[in-house]
Amino acid sequence: MLERLHIAAQKGEGMAQDDRLQLTSDLRVALQEFYFRYAECLDGGRLEQWPEFFLDAGVYRLTTRRSLRLGPDDDIMSLRTKSALRDRLVAIQQSEDYEPHTQRHFVSNFRVQASGADELRVQANVQVLRTYPGRETEVLCSGQYADRVAVAGGRFNFREKCCVLDSDVAPRDLVYPV
């Protein structure tokens, strides 16, 4: 589906006159599928695939609503390249605090806030549940994605993924990507 959109864009079909991506239902469905694959990757424990959702110069930010107003220096986490994302994965794998668990990302209320020739600004709600063996499921965090998604070569990639937590107090044991 996204490949058809890419071919149409190359031919100039389906493009708005001001060269912005046309927000068709196919594009919206493909974008939601991209987000669902992202959540599935994290929920399935395939962390080695996580950096592939980003451009080489992709940015991953984890912050709170309060910190977002104060600026990027107050982010909980800020990774500015795909190699920094990979370094984060190595740190997670070497962590001694790991306790086996499952997690579930629930992503909803997708909104394309703006579009350009090769970028979409996307907002979506997110909630992450976590379950340890023998314990009740708990809410790890909730918040909102405020993302810049690159559209090129028939695929989506995060140019910037900004996870804004609802609470001003981040979970003390937030280790995995949101």
Of the pLDDT bands very low, low, confident and very high (cuts 50, 70, 90), residue 9 is very low
Q: What is the 3-state secondary structure (H, E, C) of 19-65?
A: CCECCCHHHHHHHHHHHHHHHHHHHCCCHHHHHHHEEEEEEEEEEEH
Position 18 scores a pLDDT of 58
Considering the domain boundaries, does residue 173 fall inside one? no
The mean pLDDT value of the chain amounts to 87
Considering the domain boundaries, does residue 170 fall inside one? no
81 and 56 Cβ atoms separated by less than 8 Å: yes
Residue linked to tokens 């890419």: 6
What's the mean pLDDT in 95-102?
79
Nearest to 163 by CA among 133, 130, 127: 127
pLDDT tens profile 10-28: 334 433 345 778 888 999 9
Considering the domain boundaries, does residue 178 fall inside one? no
pLDDT tens profile 166-178: 999 888 888 889 9
Question: In CATH, what number is assigned to the domain containing residue 119?
Answer: 3.10.450.50
Considering the domain boundaries, does residue 160 fall inside one? yes
Considering the domain boundaries, does residue 171 fall inside one? no
Domain that holds residue 150: 2-165
26 and 151 Cβ atoms separated by less than 8 Å: no
Position 15 scores a pLDDT of 35
Considering the domain boundaries, does residue 6 fall inside one? yes
Question: What global pTM score does this model have?
Answer: 0.86
Considering the domain boundaries, does residue 121 fall inside one? yes
137 and 102 Cβ atoms separated by less than 8 Å: no
Number of domain units in the chain: 1
Position 169 scores a pLDDT of 87
What's the mean pLDDT in 124-128?
98
Among residues of the chain, what percentage have pLDDT more than 70?
89
pLDDT tens profile 25-68: 999 999 999 999 999 999 999 999 999 999 999 999 999 999 88
